[in-house]
Structure 1
Amino acid sequence: MNQYQEIRQGEKGALVSIGAYIVLSGCKLVAGYGFDSSALVADGFNNLTDIVASTAVLVGLRISQKPPDKDHPYGHFRAETIAALIASFIMATVGIQVLIDAFKSLFADHKAVPGLVSAWIALAAGAVMAGVYIYNKRLAKRINNQALLAAAKDNLSDALVSVGAAVGIIGAQFGLPWLDPVAALAVGAIICKTAWEIFYSSTHALTDGFNENELHSLRGTIESTHGVRSIKDIKARVHGSNVLIDVVVQVDPELTLVESHRISDEIERRMERKHNIMSVHVHVEPMGMEDGEQPGSEPAQT
């Protein structure tokens, strides 16, 4: 399965998420307003933002399937990252509004006690989102799609948010009406936190940031390749769900061009096999040659 086929597989997960969020957000908002539950209303708005986020992932996945062209020689894989960045702004806006409404409800003179039915709705929604999380996590790992894996993590947070809303509603039944708006505050905080995490990861990728621990792991794989004496330089960046690597390795200066080429091929095979990375640019240099020195030249005398 090539990377474009994997992206098409990832669309299934995004569509499952969108379908679940549409149904659950409608049920939560109707029940939340009908049974006077601030927490369930906040959770419903949370799912509305998730529809936008999942749609952004879907649109990004579809755009990223476009083949390379004159203006995009590396392809369009970063489209999903840009879509996620846009979704983070929308999620932050909704999260702030939920926090404002929850504060108003918390300090209101009269706090309505939400109906117990809304707690059961919240628990059922949590169970549904837990199922969506398991499905998307397994699919994301099978096709190695980082965007879908991030969406799966959002599914899990939504399941926990629904459980938290249920706790707040049940607590209100036992003479603690303030617990419902407090749960709504927690939901708003989680929305903002998720928005920040998506914003940070997206901007980090778009500015060519890369995890140092992962880079160390990649370096170890290359260094252990037979024929590699040392690594002079290595760089990596994220391009959508793909990783692009540029590495300069030093080898025995007595090796032929054919032998050096075989080392490059072996590095590429190992990166694909061990890390599922298929975009590796390898530059081979003879060991001991200084920058600017020509092969076979004598060292400069002082």
Structure 2
Amino acid sequence: MIENNDIKERAALVSVGVKTLLAVGKLVAGLMSGSLALLSEAANNIGDIAIVCFSFVAIRIANKPADDTHHYGHAKVETLAALAQTGFLLGLAVYIFATAVNRLMTGYVNVVPGTLAFGVLIVSIIVDISRWYSLNKIAKETRSEALAADALNFASDIVASTFALLGLLAVHFGFWQGDSIGALGVAVFIGIAGFNLARRTINALTDAAPPGLTESISAAALRVPGVIGVDSLRLRPVGANVLGDIAIRVPRTLPQDGVTAIKGNVSAAIAATHPDVELTVETTPVALDDESVVERLLLIAAKRHVAIHHVIVQQVCGKIALSCDIEVDGTMPLGQAHSIASGLEAEARKELGSDVEIDTHIEPLEPHELAGEDAPEDTRDAIAAALSAAASGGIEDIHNVRARKTASGLVVNYHCRADPRTSVAVVHQAVDALEHKVREEFPAIARLVGHAEPLR
């Protein structure tokens, strides 16, 4: 960014020097020849010098970072510089046009085109072409409104100088009105350039989105997995960048970290195709048509910070019948726990329909933290042997057995393996049967946690 700023400032300074030399040359040649077209070009260049100086100052100001009063930075100052150039071009066009018409109406004007006049115009055209190409390239690379305006100004000078040259050639061959007609051509083209610059500047000042950018950004966002749709997209050009916000729809069943990941992926996708665009990504959770009743109930519980499990869904005579277990703090009074359960049930009916039958079973939440210590090795080994002996129903390879003593009793963790093609329901049933047998043999076990893995 700093390198771009230096490039823009150097380009503006070079433009000042070039414009100054051309203005002096055209002014001298215009006064010596009496050519309105040359004098008009000199006036155009003299005005350009003031405008380019203003552009240079504007670029310096636009490079300042954001502060407490300009939260988006100062890049709009460049657009104001372009607006000033617009006003100058249009005003100059009107003046030259009026003067040329007056000359044509009042009669013969003595214009003596000499070698200096022709030489200045030819050199001016060559220099203007070089500066237009250079500034246009830099303006596109740095996305500078002020330099783009300067490039357009040099482009108008090329055509204007060409009209002036043709007018002087006409005078040289005896057509005295040629100079005034050439000046009219200069005025018309300057006016056209001013109009085009005015349109671009007004679009920038009124925050008009660059053509095609809205569709391109929306398409990039929709290609990100998890994005269901784009609700809104607002863009506003600020100097070389485009700022704004985009609102996307995502499945409401996603966890918070999933939503955060999608937002990051959308930002990355937009940056990959449009590095100069900075958007705030907002999300709206929406229900999908293929959401199951269980997913919808789990989402309701998650929003209410209620832990539920063992959800059963039944279709009874065309109605939905739900039941689930709710876990609450074991020390909580029943009245408070019942209010939590009733709130969950009411929200479920609101979501699934008033005729939904729902029953909740309240049970104490087991403590998440228990102080403990490793049980004696012989106890652990005995439990491990019992687990291995009781394994059946496809459960194999009991390993990584750990046993800890806690205030609530023994807590035993172990790993086992089963055929990876076996369903979760079948594996769970076999593990439950295994643990039931072991707990009968070791009644001191308060919790037995088995982790099933696929056979290698």
- The one-letter code of the counterpart of 1:215 is T
Residue 119 of structure 2 aligns to which amino acid in structure 1? Answer: W
Report whether the alignment pairs 1:106 with 2:104.
yes
Distance in 2, matches of 1:140 and 1:252, equals 43
Residues 52, 87 of structure 1: 8 Å contact kept = no
Q: What amino acid does structure 1 have at the position aligned with 2:140?
A: K
Matched, 1:210 2:209: yes
> What corresponds to 2:244 in structure 1?
245
1:48 matched residue in structure 2: 46
Q: 1:52/1:183 Cα in 2 relative to 1: closer, same or farther (>3 Å)?
A: same
Contact in 2 for aligned 1:7/1:145 (Cα 8 Å): no
Structure 1 264/35 Cα, relative in aligned 2: closer, same or farther at 3 Å?
A: same
Task: Answer whether contact 1:252 1:286 (CA < 8 A) is retained.
Answer: yes
Q: 2: distance between equivalents of 1:88 and 1:11? A: 20
Q: Whose radius of gyration is greater, 1 or 2?
A: 2
CA shift for structure 1 position 300: 8.8
Matched with 2:77 is 79
What do residues 173-195 of structure 1 show as CA deviations (whole Å, max 9, x unaligned)? Answer: 22222121111112122223333
Structure 1, residues 121-159: CA drift from partner, whole Å, max 9, x if none? 212101001111121122223333343233222222212
2:284 maps to what in 1?
285
Residue 225 to residue 238, structure 1, CA distance change in 2 (3 Å): same
1:286/1:202 Cα in 2 relative to 1: closer, same or farther (>3 Å)?
same
Q: Deviations over 1:64-103 (max 9, x none)?
A: 1122111111111111112222332233322222222212
What amino acid sits opposite 1:46 in the alignment?
Answer: N
Paired letter, 1:67: P
Opposite residue 14 of structure 1, the aligned amino acid is A
Q: Which amino acid aligns with 1:15?
A: L
Report the 3-state secondary structure (helix = DSSP H, G, I; strand = E; otherwise coil) of the residue aligned with 2:65: coil
Provide the rounded CA distance (Å) in 2 between the counterparts of 1:71 and 1:120.
51
Distance verdict in 2 for CA 1:112–1:180, change over 3 Å: same
Structure 1 24/278 Cα, relative in aligned 2: closer, same or farther at 3 Å?
same
Q: Secondary structure at the match of 1:107?
A: helix
CA distance change for structure 1 residues 300 and 157 in 2, over 3 Å: closer, same or farther? farther
Look up the SS of the partner of 2:284 in the other structure.
Answer: strand
Instruction: Tell me the amino acid that sits aligned with residue 213 of structure 1.
Output: G
Tell me if structure 1 keeps the 8 A contact 2:242–2:276.
yes
Query: What is the TM-score normalised by the length of structure 2?
Result: 0.60
Quote the residue 1:94 is aligned against: 92
Residue in 2 that maps onto 1:144: 143
CA distance in structure 2 between the aligned counterparts of 1:60 and 1:280, rounded to whole angstroms: 26
Matches within 5 A, 1:160-179: 160-179=159-178
Identity %: 25
Q: Identify the residue that residue 266 of structure 1 maps to in structure 2.
A: 265
AA partner of residue 204 (structure 1):
N
Q: Residues of 2 paired with 1:86 and 1:101: CA distance?
A: 23
- In structure 2, what is the equivalent of residue 196 of structure 1? 195
The one-letter amino acid paired with 2:109 is K
CA shift in 2, pair 1:57/1:201, >3 Å: same
1:7 aligns with 2:5: yes
For 1:29, give the aligned amino acid. L
8 Å contact 1:250–1:287 — kept in the other structure?
yes
Structure that is richer in strand per residue: 2
Number of corresponding residues: 295
Contact 1:25 1:44 in 2 (8 A): yes
Instruction: Note if contact 1:8-1:61 (Cα within 8 Å) is conserved in structure 2.
Output: no
Secondary structure at 1:17 match in 2: helix
Measure how far apart 1:247 and its partner are: 0.6
| C-alpha contact (below 8 Å) 1:14/1:54 kept by paired residues | yes
* Distance verdict in 2 for CA 1:182–1:299, change over 3 Å: farther
TM-score norm. by structure 1 comes to 0.88
Question: 2:306 is matched with which residue?
Answer: none
Please tell me the root mean square deviation across aligned C-alpha atoms, in Å. Answer: 2.3
The alpha-carbon deviation at position 288 of structure 1 amounts to: 4.0
* CA distance in 2: counterparts of 1:16 and 1:190, whole angstroms: 24
Instruction: Give the 3 Å change call, closer, same or farther, for CA 29–301 of structure 1 in structure 2.
Output: farther
Between 78-87 and 262-271, the greater mean CA deviation after superposition? 262-271
Aligned to 2:157: 158
Greater relative contact order (CA < 8 Å, ≥ 6 in sequence): 1
Q: Distance in 1 between matches of 2:101 and 2:134?
A: 35
Deviation at residue 216 of structure 1 after TM alignment: 2.1
> Contact 1:245/1:281 (CA < 8 Å) preserved in 2?
yes
